[in-house]
Structure 1
């Protein structure tokens, strides 16, 4: 039985063209700067985001950590939204490895109010750490893939510019954000000093993320990548699919968004199941099953037996993520299975 895997867009498999690109990639030692394929990918990433330089990293988590290390000094503090990925899901690397303290502030659907950031800024005081960095996330994972408006990002960037504090964007799914906004990704990247984006989520590459910024920033970031064990050798074998991901997989993201909207609307029509449709911006759908009276862990286990994979998000919600390897027909089937399952339970 083929599973309908809606756990995450990280489960996507490389396309046939990506696999072919691996076989013919021009290779060299990337630590020496000799891997042609990786060099081309880094230049492409910089160009498409409007930045001076790019750096290939094995994972988004490493990319974010390198960015924090590059922008800050140990003992400083970074401001970020309280449910962002860097704070919740990156194993405390900013504290243990970068040596900085997190200053989480409450956001709304992934947005951080500029006034709250200003209030969180540390004034000169012998007791306080210095504010060294502001981190944003777009799209925002825990907020359900919501997109942070450009106006909000611009306001925060201008604040950072005025006080000399850099802005880093965890843009793991920034191409989804750009698709939703109907803009080029560089229009988002213009409001940050550095940005990480994943090749291995909606863009479908098997491995890797990109870190982009100024030439000076990337030069230092490259050294920290080496420190963390991310300086690889003939890395073109995984960089080659990344180039195809950027060049050929961005336009199809709109289909993932349509499938997410279809799933959200279909599940929201089921009695006892609810989705905040206004928050389904991209390819993530958070579904509230609390009114069914069932534990989300039990629902997920039941769905697995019926060939559908999803992840529990808290006690009341289950997260579904659409991607290139889930068809519109499979979305319809998922809605049908859940509807029948909830109906059967309500009859008992």
Structure 2
């Protein structure tokens, strides 16, 4: 039994999801004639109370499109130093949009409205013009932390008063919604654009969707084409998203529960220096300085348990749809042996 906890992206479609995919009605999406992808886009737009949604092959492409929609070359995006768009999207902010990032030193990937105010550049001609604030919820490098929604509203007020765009990288927003008992409509009212991922917590094989207001989304399909993301009979993939929205949202609470139980075991181990607070499905922990990170990972791998190293003796575990109760009991038992 292989236990893969490197990421929630390692899941494979269930038989039921595959059945939904194989029975999907499809057409040419470049002509907007694929009824299944149209249905997915319409459903997500309605869920967030927005007029437009567009299916993308990846979350990075959806985020990169949003950044380009909000900015012009030479301008600047405000985001946290842990932001996915800065750390894990291959420099796409600079390459695709010609903009730079003004990094906020936040807390676990989150920052305050006051920090945003302090990060907005003066209007003098020799400064890069600030044009966008980007938020990630939940925060990946922050250990699956969830934002305080009232802080997000306060940042929105700052964006409105300074004429700034407001984008949400919601790759794991579904986890935040379940953990905090919040709604998609709340987020739709606050953000101009929102990207949501279907292939992480919801267990789809591929896909993200960018959702937004009418004016800002007008060029989104053109930019998707430029980035090479226009597809044909994509309804087979969109059907997985529709199935996941019907069946895999509420069960995210199970992933959160298991993550907290893993964290509780780690907290009591003498070789563990620190376990970050656990709110959703990500567990980040730090080994004591005398423990070799590579050796610890290998010891688990020898028992068919796979986790990911983050450097500096920090490691990450991510629970997900394919991590069963049986796997969970085995992992807890093995951790207790340490």
SS at match of 1:168: strand
Structure-1 residue corresponding to 2:65: 66
Give TM-score scaled by structure 2 length: 0.97
Paired residues of 2:265 and 2:335 also in contact (CA < 8 A): no
SS at match of 1:287: strand
Candidates 303, 308, 312, aligned match of 2:309: 312
Structure-2 residue corresponding to 1:194: 193
User: What is the 5 A alignment of 1:1-348?
Assistant: 2-276=1-275, 279-291=277-289, 293-340=290-337, 342=338
Gaps of 5+ in 1: 343-348
Task: Quote how far apart the aligned CAs of 1:188 are.
Answer: 2.8
Task: Quote how far apart the aligned CAs of 1:67 are.
Answer: 0.2
SS at match of 2:86: helix
1:167-220 CA distance string (max 9 Å, x none): 000000001001111122222332211110100000000100010001222221
Paired residues of 1:28 and 1:233 also in contact (CA < 8 A): yes
Task: Quote how far apart the aligned CAs of 1:315 are.
Answer: 1.7
List structure 1 segments (4+ residues) > 3 angstroms apart after TM superposition: 274-277
- 167-176 or 266-275, which moves further after superposition? 266-275
SS at match of 1:207: coil
- 105-114 or 148-157, which moves further after superposition? 105-114
Q: Using the alignment, how far apart are the partners of 1:18 and 1:67 within structure 2? A: 29
SS at match of 1:318: strand
Task: Quote how far apart the aligned CAs of 1:338 are.
Answer: 2.5
Paired residues of 1:285 and 1:320 also in contact (CA < 8 A): yes
Q: Using the alignment, how far apart are the partners of 2:207 and 2:160 within structure 1? A: 30
Task: Quote how far apart the aligned CAs of 1:274 are.
Answer: 4.5
Give TM-score scaled by structure 1 length: 0.94
1:89-124 CA distance string (max 9 Å, x none): 000001011111111111112221211211111111
* CA separation of 1:275 and 1:179: change in aligned 2, threshold 3 A: farther
CA RMSD of aligned residues (A): 1.2
1:142-178 CA distance string (max 9 Å, x none): 0100001101100001110112101000000001001
SS at match of 2:64: helix
Task: Quote how far apart the aligned CAs of 1:335 are.
Answer: 2.3
Q: Using the alignment, how far apart are the partners of 1:123 and 1:134 within structure 2? A: 15
Paired residues of 1:262 and 1:331 also in contact (CA < 8 A): no
Task: Quote how far apart the aligned CAs of 1:247 are.
Answer: 2.0
Paired residues of 2:266 and 2:275 also in contact (CA < 8 A): no
Q: Using the alignment, how far apart are the partners of 1:35 and 1:135 within structure 2? A: 31
Paired residues of 1:174 and 1:185 also in contact (CA < 8 A): no
SS at match of 1:333: helix
Structure-2 residue corresponding to 1:345: none
Gaps of 5+ in 2: none
Task: Quote how far apart the aligned CAs of 1:295 are.
Answer: 1.7
